[in-house]
Amino acid sequence: MPRSRRLFFAAVLAATGASAVASAQTVTPTAISFPTRLVGGQNLGYATRAQNLNPYGISYADCTADMTLQFSVSLAGFEGTDASVEVWASTTSDCVNSSDRGIGAPSAVCWGVSPSLVEPNASGSTQFSVRVQDLVGWQSSPPPPAQAGKPPSQGVGACAAQPTFAAVPMVINFLAVNGEGRAIGTSYQYSISTDMVGPPAPAGLCETAGETLLNLTFTPNTDSDTIGYDLYVDPIPSQVPETQGSSDSGLAPDSGNCAINASCNDSVLTGAVLPDAGSTTEETGVASGDADVLSGNGGVSSIPDGYLFDLSSGLTISDKSTAQYVITGLVDYVDYTAVISAVDGTGNIGPPSSEVCDYPEPVQDFWQNYEKDGGGQGGYCALETVGVGGTSMIGAGCALVAVAATRRRRKRRT
């Protein structure tokens, strides 16, 4: 056989052998691929929310709590090699290409999120820990190539790095990497939804009052991030004694006209934080009381949870297309203020809407006024007709009652 042909086949065999050795390294999840969640050393299990709120995603609360995700993966084929296991995150890449990790490239789209495991000596189950703040903090500005593999640890300021209220999908990549930094063998990718910002507040909140109730109407959100709404009420209805109400209520109500009313100035129901996109420095914190919070850009409510109304289902309103809610069980003549916030799929409660305020009171309908003015008792709905026009008369009378019952006298308001 000619020498050139022998050299050719030797090269093919060498390449084939190298490929076979390289492909032997595998990184795979254990039987349960979800990471466990730890906060302050306490194991919270695989989920921290109800199933209807994307229990496996990452929320603003998870981030500020400095949660750590602990992965259990199985390694095979690493004995006797120079391969290592590295853990990288990205919003756009599986990080397999060296250039995406900043090797031989002017920029990186991946960043390291866990210490590398250098030249594993044995196969088996191995634990890797990923801090949520290190995961989400570089999403807007990935670190330079020189720091991509071991970027500085993030602080709570990382929770403000999300640029909009839309959820940000990320991929955590477990790579077998050779001594030259090239990904080899079979890697493992874990996809996770991160969301640090609640949806904008619904617009057009209005109210009308009745006996022991306030009826709220608003414009539902149309964005895909919103899954429902939470309602805040002050004072907390369950904590108001039934004897507290007085006809001398001094609140100047907004009359249900949707206009911003200076009398609705309950500072308890205005708290929110608005994440500041691009923040990557240690312990930068988040902006509080930012004017943009109420302008439709999203944020996170900081109103105490105790003011949330009716959380029996996890949300006050679980249907995002709903445009009305009736707050019942109130005490007449007690001044109440209400706001409403949108909630996203990861459980972030967005900034509050503008406030409405009013007090419930007994309603005098058409027939009560009719009787007071000397008319007979019962009204037309109680009348029976004989021989002519009965059904139409009764229907017209009942319809009139229904309309009259929705109107409210405000004798004490000027």
**286 in the same domain as 151:** no
Q: Residue 44 carries which side chain, given as an amino acid letter?
A: L
Residue 89: other Cβ atoms inside 10 A? 25
Residue 123 lies in a domain: yes
Residues 98 and 216 in one domain: no
110-118 mean pLDDT: 94
Residues 234, 165 share a domain: no
Q: Say if 11 falls within a structural domain.
A: no
**Is residue 331 domain-shared with residue 385, that is, in the same domain?**
no
Per-residue pLDDT, averaged over 305-315, amounts to: 81
Query: Sorting pLDDT into bands at 50, 70 and 90, what band is 258?
Result: low
SS3 annotation, the chain: CCHHHHHHHHHHHHHHHHHHHHCCCEEEECCCCCCEEEECCEECCCCCCCHHHCCCCECHHHHHCCCEEEEEEEEECCCCCCCEEEEEEECCCCCCCHHHHCCCCCCCCCEEEEEEECCCCCCEEEEEEEEHHHHHCCCCCCCCHHHHCCCCCCCHHHHHCCCCCCCEEEEEEEEEECCCCCEEEEEEEEEEEECCCECCCCEEEEEEEECCEEEEEEECCCCCCEEEEEEEEECCHHHCCCCCCCCCCCCCCCCCCCCCCCCCCCHHHCCEEECCCCCCCCCCCCEECCHHHHHCCCEEECCCHHHECCCCCCCCECCCCCCEEEECCCCCCCCEEEEEEEEECCCCECCCCCCEEECCCCCCCHHHHHHHCCCCCCCHHHCCCCCCCHHHHHHHHHHHHHHHHCCCCCCCCC
Q: How many domains are there within the chain?
A: 3
Q: What are phi and psi of 123, to 5 degrees?
A: -85, 165
Q: Does pLDDT of 37 surpass 80?
A: yes
The pLDDT value recorded for residue 257 is 55
Question: Is residue 3 assigned to a domain?
Answer: no
Give per-residue pLDDT as tens, 126-150: 999 999 999 999 999 999 999 999 9
**In terms of domains, do 210 and 303 share one?**
yes
Residues 263 and 116 in one domain: no
Q: Within this chain, do residues 215 and 345 fall inside the same structural domain, yes or no?
A: yes
Query: Do 230 and 340 contact (CB within 8 A), yes or no?
Result: yes
- Looking at the fold, whether 126 and 223 belong to one and the same domain comes out as no
The predicted-structure confidence for 261-281, as pLDDT tens digits, reads as follows: 567 889 999 888 865 433 332
Per-residue model confidence as pLDDT tens digits over 328-383: 999 999 999 999 999 999 999 999 999 999 999 987 655 555 555 666 555 444 43
Q: Are residues 247 and 324 in the same domain?
A: yes
Share the mean pLDDT of the chain. Answer: 78
Is 105 domain-assigned? yes
Domain of 329 in residue numbering reads as: 203-358
Task: Please give the C-alpha separations between residue 44 and each of 39, 64, 67, 302, in angstroms, as whole numbers.
Answer: 7, 15, 10, 23
